[in-house]
Structure 1
Amino acid sequence: MQELESLKSIFKDRIFRVPDYQRGYAWKEEHLEDFWEDIINLPNDRYHYTGLLSLKLVPEEVWERWDKEGWLIEDRGFRPFHVVDGQQRLTTFIILINEIVNCVFQLSENQGKNPEEIYLGSFNLLEIQQEYLMIAKPPHAIIKSYKFGYEKDNPSSELLKHRILSNAESHGSVSESYYTLNLENAKIFFRENLNNYFTFNGIQGIEMLFKKLTRNLMFNIHEIQDDFDVFVAFETMNNRGKKLSNLELLKNRLIYLTTLYEKSELNNDDKRILRDNINEAWKNIYHYLGRNKKRPLVDDEFLNAHWILSFPYTRQKGDDYIKYLLDEKFTPKNVFTKVPVVKDSIIEVEEIVDDTDEFEEELPLAVSNAKLTPSEIEAYVESLKVAARHWYNTFNPINNSELDKEERLWLDRINRVGIVYFRPLLLAALMSSNIKQGERVELFRQVERFIFIAFRLGRAFSNYRNSEFFRLARKLQNGEITVQEIICILEARIEDWLEAKTAYDNQPFNTYIKRKFVNSSGFYGWNGLKYLLYEYEYEMMSKWGNQKIDWNLFVKNEDDKVSIEHIYPQTPTRIEWLEPFKDFSLVQQKYLTNSLGNLLPLSQSINSSLQNNIFSEKKHPVSSERRGFANGSHSEIEVSYYNEWTAKEILERGLKLISFMEKRWDIKFPNIDTKLEFLCLEFMKDSSAN
């Protein structure tokens, strides 16, 4: 077995690059915390096995294209390596060492000094930088060569050099992604924890931390000899429990397949171009997946959705899509398996005039090509690249300049109501250049209606008819069905089941909501409540202007605060509440409290204890503890016009919300009895007649 090596030994006369088939930096906060605790808790006199580091020597034809590292290899004898396994750990080491240097350099006693004048133990900071981070080529120090980094075309390359290691706030255009966000988060994590560690342990603590990092953590080095081993090793590796995503595995597989074609099928220049196209596509994909830093998108969900659009859908298991892609479609077997292809399909006949009156026939030339062609890979990769942008748009429609105003509105609504399984269908609609904007808007409107009626009112299971609509998404992508045909199917599925347009069957909903009343929550526990109340608020905002409720704050859960108020309190104690409801039983009072008409969306969350205030105080508070209805949301202002709040007003407002539902989602309640049953206020039948 090879002797274990420390970080100091590993970095001696070596240059490391993360190759193009590798994923980016994937460690999150929990991985950084584990790493940090391992370092600070390691006894000063103990060694710690850090794992296997798999490397592959970079051939000359590759490193000679590097811009700034050639002089280290040619003049100083450095050996360049691709990091096949262990890049997550090496990246973390480099960021931590860089932050240690920054921490020491910024100490007050070191202000105004050059790096070579500042020491950490027996090493000055310039020596540490040259050993692990960057070497400037003498004599002018214009060329700066980094000991560790990414291939040039990797989106993380520029960010690592110019924001992480050199601390520049801006250096040209940096394509940010999910991975670059992780790099920046790691830098912040170590900077904050080092400053805190210095506060308690002083410079001696930082010195010991650096020593443990570079001398006490030991690696087992394995040099991989050929390309086959490289790609196989990548597919099977794990880094401290952070498994490769399926999208990462697919990229590696596609690049690997480009190396398997014979020159007659794919010459070296075309191999390079196809490989570059794969890298460019993944760079674009991860840019969009991480574009919204607050809500990065899950790469495997994107890959699954694209698979639904590209290949026949099966519903056996959740991982069918990646099994198909890696085990059936994009496999070495499909490259090695040759199928006969007639290259010259036209037979050229040349007449020969002679005594025999015969002619010669040029037969078709048959060749053998791979079952999976390079053009298929190229087309699939290009489709993924295009899909990534539209996938991002479906999640982030607000203020999105690529979408029309109406498209933004309806996509936002679909996201808020709960998109269920419809994102692939929306993706197909956005990807197709043959679908007009008006057609997309109508499709989005019908999808939103279907979701609200089927899942929020009809209480359908989350996978209700998902296979059907996945297949329709693929047909739409392939131009085998029109938007109007899909709209007709959406409407038919609702009408055949709930008859929403003619005589809405509320039985599934009533069975559900009455169970909610048994548990005391009633409509307050309905998962469609906030969406309904927000849409009612939006309707009034469209008339009167001035948005007063922010959806993100509206759905945010805060301890001991509410964003939906029970106007008639859940636990009324004051006589002003007890007197108007005294003729109702306790059960009926509970139904009134949690009925739809008694629930009001607030423009500003309040402490739950304030819900017990009497109605006049809720409209016009006597203190500054809360904002009154009269100065709140449009829904609050509407309620503030009532002189009193009794069971009659609760019923009246509930019926008003039902009327809004009928108009907004094209629903028809058959009669007043059905409406009362929906509200669970059948005992108020006599009041509804007045």
Structure 2
Amino acid sequence: MQPQYLKLNELLQNRIFTVPEYQRPYSWESAQRQDLFEDIQKLMNKRDQSHHFMATVVAMNPRKLIPISIHEFNQIDLVDGQQRITSLVILLNEIATKLAASNEAAEKSAGDELKKLLVKQDNNTILLQTNHDSSGLLTNYLRGEPQWNKTPETLAERNLRNAVNESAAISAKWSKANQILDALRVIQNRLAFLYYELDDEGLVYSTFEVLNSRGRPVEWLDKTKSMLMGIIYDRFPKAYAAKFDESHRTWTKLYEIMGVKNISGDEILRFAATLRAEEQPSRTLSAEAAYSRFRELAIEKPNQINTLMGFLVSTAESLKVLYDDSTRSTLTNIAQARLLYLSISASRILKDAEKKLLLDLWEKVTFLVYGLARRDSRTCVGDFVRLAYSIYNDETASVTDWINDLKAIANGFDLTAEVDALLKGRDCYTDWTNELRYFLFRYEQMLAADSKIRSNHLVWSDIWSSNATETIEHICPQTPSPEWVGALGKGRDVWVNNVNRLGNLILLPRGLNSEASNLPYKEKRKLYKKANMLHHDEVIKVANWDRAAIEKRERGLRDFALKTWKI
């Protein structure tokens, strides 16, 4: 296996690149692209002809020729390096667009030549076909038919769109400074790659793992994939192709889930390995330790490698359900809470009714600890992680045991004291917006159950889809208008110490909240009626909103909290 040292222009000639579906979708963000642009600019500013080493590219050549007119192109599957190649292709397309629109003959000619590299003579085949692009965004963009009019459905689509916008901006900057031909010359001739082209997929993964053991920054999930595929290749020399096919389907599905919801690959790997740890852990395994654990499991039982990969998919699916749950997603800031949720929902032991029972209790305990008690992520780590491991692995324990374990966590906190401390702090807004929205949602649910009236689903959909701060209404406004002066008493401190109190806060859909602002109370009450939310009724009934009204409502909310989170 002899690598080639190629300039970008040499790498792109006579090849058509595809990114297989079982590879990670386009995930570069602005920081990586800005680094790329800065590298190019530094080369442009140098007077010598030095090259800049960009990256190693690992590819598989399936020996498939694509004839177009009198030319033949090798179809190449990119296994490593696809992020940089995708970014550079987008940048080249933006440069080509700028050059083609130029009045200068030399620039226009260079732009036309570059377009022919990106879109072949049949006006259909493109230089790079990326993966997880069901909408054909990149394909249509390179063909000159961009379709950016709809909201991106996946993280990869959003990243592609951002890459286009940022590449257009830097190209415009170079064009304005009369540097665009210099930029193209540098990109094509002075950016260099170490290129490995293999025709055996098993060797591709072995090469990828060796290269990335030398310090190249690759996510641990991708390292794990290559490691597992390499073990399949080594252990099943005659049957690896069929196992690879199954593996490809698994990784395609995993990356699709991750792309839709932006779930961290490291988290999927760490959580899955923690639940499959050899001994009960007291904290979530690190990404490196998780990689090692998957390696141990794969070497011990190579016939179950595809099952291991499937467990990564089911882990991602469970996390997606949690992130998709607009209510429970409030509780997702704490890693050990997410792990415990995953353990319950993915349990091989529990029945559906038992899962529901435990998840409802998990939700109450989690909000008690990290919401009402306002503890940070360092609290109860071992308690949550050990319980998660037990639920997933301990076939001798019972649901009653796990219920008691959850209750034991809750009993470590004095509910009355925690609620009183929260209210005494007189600020349930700053650094508590997501928790406040969750709290008032549960309050609305209680009112709906008591009155046997359904909550307004459309209103709540608007609230959950908005930023929390955009939906929290201060009845007494943060910036009082003349009509509000004196409502809370005299002095600036009186206002500051009362305006963020729980009793002064309600939820409104984003539009109505913006409209309410610092209107007089009489006008605000009219807006509250429009919202048609149950927790507004007790506010609307009050003729004048003042400090006494806040304190009265706060007492009622205190009673609700003590009743709801009593465990």
Task: Please confirm whether the aligned pair reaches a TM-score higher than 0.5, indicating the same fold.
Answer: yes
Structure 2 residues not aligned, in runs of 5+: none
* Structure 1 Cα separation of the partners of residues 134 and 541 of structure 2: 61
Equivalence map 1:45-60=2 (5 Å): 47=49, 49-54=51-56, 58=60
Deviations, residues 290-326 of structure 1 (Å, cap 9, x unaligned): 114xxx22211122122222224665776x4433343
Equivalence map 1:286-305=2 (5 Å): 286-292=255-261, 296-305=262-271
Amino acid at match of 2:439: L
Contact preservation (8 Å) 2:280, 2:386: no
Equivalence map 1:396-475=2 (5 Å): 396-397=324-325, 412-418=326-332, 420=334, 421-432=336-347, 435-475=350-390
Aligned to 2:163: 186
* Structure 2 Cα separation of the partners of residues 161 and 606 of structure 1: 38
* Structure 2 Cα separation of the partners of residues 309 and 13 of structure 1: 48
The one of 231, 242, 252 equivalent to 2:226 is 252
- Alignment: residue pair count: 542
* Structure 2 Cα separation of the partners of residues 44 and 459 of structure 1: 54
* Structure 1 Cα separation of the partners of residues 34 and 479 of structure 2: 45
* Structure 1 Cα separation of the partners of residues 484 and 119 of structure 2: 76
* Structure 2 Cα separation of the partners of residues 313 and 45 of structure 1: 60
Which of 1 and 2 has higher RCO (CA within 8 Å, sep 6+)? 2
The percent of aligned pairs where both chains have the same amino acid is 21
Residue 506 in 1 paired to residue 492 in 2? Answer: no
* Structure 2 Cα separation of the partners of residues 442 and 6 of structure 1: 60
Contact preservation (8 Å) 2:96, 2:111: no
The alignment's TM-score, normalised by the length of structure 1, stands at 0.65
Aligned to 1:133: 118
- After superposition, the Cα gap between the structure-2 partners of 1:272 and 1:206, relative to the gap in structure 1 and judged at 3 Å, is same
The one of 446, 460, 463 equivalent to 1:551 is 463
Greater share of helix: 2
The one of 231, 246, 252 equivalent to 2:209 is 231
The RMSD of aligned alpha carbons is 4.5
Displacement of 1:250 in angstroms is: 0.7
* Structure 2 Cα separation of the partners of residues 133 and 237 of structure 1: 32
Equivalence map 1:484-503=2 (5 Å): 484-494=400-410, 496-498=411-413
Residue 322 in 1 paired to residue 321 in 2? Answer: no
- After superposition, the Cα gap between the structure-2 partners of 1:589 and 1:54, relative to the gap in structure 1 and judged at 3 Å, is closer
The one of 634, 641, 645 equivalent to 2:541 is 641
Aligned to 2:300: 372
Deviations, residues 467-518 of structure 1 (Å, cap 9, x unaligned): 3333333343347245454233323432x434xxxxx65335545665x3xx
Aligned to 1:219: 192
- After superposition, the Cα gap between the structure-2 partners of 1:122 and 1:488, relative to the gap in structure 1 and judged at 3 Å, is same
* Structure 1 Cα separation of the partners of residues 252 and 47 of structure 2: 43
Displacement of 1:628 in angstroms is: 4.6
Aligned to 1:605: 513
- After superposition, the Cα gap between the structure-2 partners of 1:460 and 1:485, relative to the gap in structure 1 and judged at 3 Å, is same
* Structure 1 Cα separation of the partners of residues 11 and 544 of structure 2: 79
Deviations, residues 161-205 of structure 1 (Å, cap 9, x unaligned): 7345335679xxxx986445433432343245546765x46xx65
* Structure 2 Cα separation of the partners of residues 191 and 392 of structure 1: 34
- After superposition, the Cα gap between the structure-2 partners of 1:434 and 1:84, relative to the gap in structure 1 and judged at 3 Å, is closer
Deviations, residues 122-173 of structure 1 (Å, cap 9, x unaligned): 4472x4345x33545xxxx59x6655556xxx54699587345335679xxx
Equivalence map 1:21-60=2 (5 Å): 23-39=24-40, 42-43=44-45, 47=49, 49-54=51-56, 58=60
Q: Secondary structure at the match of 2:27?
A: coil
Contact preservation (8 Å) 1:84, 1:233: no
* Structure 1 Cα separation of the partners of residues 279 and 428 of structure 2: 37
* Structure 1 Cα separation of the partners of residues 114 and 279 of structure 2: 55
Q: Secondary structure at the match of 1:462?
A: coil
The alignment's TM-score, normalised by the length of structure 2, stands at 0.78
- After superposition, the Cα gap between the structure-2 partners of 1:185 and 1:388, relative to the gap in structure 1 and judged at 3 Å, is same
Structure 1 residues not aligned, in runs of 5+: 111-117, 336-370, 398-411, 499-503, 668-690
- After superposition, the Cα gap between the structure-2 partners of 1:482 and 1:101, relative to the gap in structure 1 and judged at 3 Å, is farther
Amino acid at match of 1:618: Y
Amino acid at match of 1:30: A
Contact preservation (8 Å) 2:474, 2:506: yes
Rg larger in structure: 1
- After superposition, the Cα gap between the structure-2 partners of 1:76 and 1:167, relative to the gap in structure 1 and judged at 3 Å, is closer
Displacement of 1:465 in angstroms is: 3.3
- After superposition, the Cα gap between the structure-2 partners of 1:597 and 1:276, relative to the gap in structure 1 and judged at 3 Å, is same
Q: Secondary structure at the match of 1:564?
A: strand
Deviations, residues 278-299 of structure 1 (Å, cap 9, x unaligned): 222221111111114xxx2221
* Structure 1 Cα separation of the partners of residues 495 and 79 of structure 2: 67
Amino acid at match of 1:658: R
Equivalence map 1:562-577=2 (5 Å): 563-565=472-474, 567=476
Q: Secondary structure at the match of 2:361?
A: helix
Deviations, residues 337-392 of structure 1 (Å, cap 9, x unaligned): xxxxxxxxxxxxxxxxxxxxxxxxxxxxxxxxxx5232121220122123322221
* Structure 1 Cα separation of the partners of residues 248 and 156 of structure 2: 15
Q: Secondary structure at the match of 1:63?
A: coil
Residue 162 in 1 paired to residue 139 in 2? Answer: yes
Aligned to 1:381: 309
Displacement of 1:394 in angstroms is: 1.2
Deviations, residues 420-453 of structure 1 (Å, cap 9, x unaligned): 3222332233334764444333322211211222
